[in-house]
Amino acid sequence: MESWQERTELLIGKEKLKKLSDSHVLIAGLGGVGAIAAEMLCRAGIGCLTIVDPDIVHASNRNRQIPALISTEGKYKVDIVGNRLMDINPNLNLKIVKDYIIDEKIPELLSIATYNYVVDAIDTLSPKVFFIQKCLEMNYQIISSLGAGRKFDPSLIKVSDISETYNCKLAYYLRKRLHKLGIYTGFKVVFSSEEVNEGSMEIIKDEKNKKSIVGTISYMPAVFGCFMASVVIRELIEK
């Protein structure tokens, strides 16, 4: 019977494939970036994955998120992605956390297992800051996704230390918050250096609050996710 991993083994060898099989990766957030990162890690042969997301699929997700279909609207992203991952590799050790990634729950999430790598695909600033801080305190290798919204040219996507980011508002606010915690460097990020189109964001106001909606294109979050998975895979097999 043909092995589904024979092409990967041909590229990296049996020993490195075993390293991936023995690794446990945590993916926080299963939107346009995180779901693709999870799938690429699974297809590469990561043996244990923990996926975390509390959200259901909305119609507005369909332009860019792999779990978002007409048939999956209203369903939990972790369930859809989890089923997909198990259909790729039935031997995958999959752990599903259907919970909000909020400050008081982050230490528990990071302590329930020992992770070989952590993927941060959280899109809300406050929990993202706390999540990164705790990962660094616990000496976890982490890669963080910055802003894929309002970006259009995938050739300008880069991997760097957080201190080397530019032309990204999320990176700016993230650095600013982390500096207050004494964190200036020490983890990798995926970001785009493309200057944004100022007309690509809409402010929506209601009686209680104000929020922004940013323009997105199908491929940018997916390419971010592929970049993140590539960093994780290459660093795990090079250890």
Residue spans per domain, the chain = 6-238
- 3 state SS for the chain: CCCCCHHHHHHHCHHHHHHHHCCEEEEECCCCCHHHHHHHHHHHCCCEEEEECCCECCHHHCCCCCCCCHHHCCCEHHHHHHHHHHHHCCCCEEEEECCCCCHHHHHHHHHCCCCCEEEECCCCHHHHHHHHHHHHHCCCCEEEECCCCCCCCHHHEEEEEHHHCCCCHHHHHHHHHHHHCCCCCCCEEEEECCCCCCCCEEEEECCCCEEEEECCCCHHHHHHHHHHHHHHHHHHHHC
Fold classification of 6-238 (topology level): Rossmann fold (3.40.50)
Per-residue pLDDT of the chain (239 residues; tens, 9 = 90+): 579 999 999 999 999 999 999 999 999 999 999 999 999 999 999 999 999 999 999 999 999 999 999 999 999 999 999 999 999 999 999 999 999 998 889 999 999 999 999 999 999 999 999 999 999 999 999 999 999 999 999 999 999 999 999 999 999 999 999 999 999 999 999 999 999 877 777 877 665 555 678 999 999 999 999 999 999 999 999 97
